[in-house]
Amino acid sequence: MIPSYRKHKSSGQAVVTLSGFDFYLGQHGSRVSRAEYDRLVAAWLACGRKVDLESAEFAVRLKRRNTDRRRCLSPRDVGDFVDNVVPIIQKQLKG
């Protein structure tokens, strides 16, 4: 079964879920989002229906759908956390 191209209601973006990860593709219905959907699904199928977060093919905007702690965070996930969350915590501590 091929994952569906869907509309994220609150943001209006197109989204596809691959192996438990939501990939945001751009404005729903746009040519860009359709092309990104095709590219990601093709890469997912080529990887045996798995998401390889270290692969450049999956280096796009994504959001972890589940919180399965057995999954390792990629260096990109850790970097995103540090860049986005640490400044918020620092601001609150100064506060």
pLDDT of amino acid 95 = 65
pLDDT at residue 77, rounded to an integer = 62
Query: What is the spatial distance between Cα 30 and Cα 4, in angstroms, rounded to a whole number?
Result: 15
Query: Tens-digit pLDDT profile for the chain (95 aa)?
Result: 899 999 999 999 999 998 888 888 889 999 999 998 998 888 888 888 888 766 766 665 555 554 444 444 455 665 666 676 667 777 777 76
pLDDT of amino acid 51: 82
Kindly provide the b/e burial profile for residues 37-75, where b requires at least 16 CB atoms within 10 angstroms of the residue's own CB.
Answer: beebbebbeeeeeebebeeeebeeebeeeeeeeeeeeee
Q: Longest C-alpha distance within the chain, in Å?
A: 50
- Residue whose structure tokens are 């990109």: 76
- What is the pTM for the complete model shown? 0.61
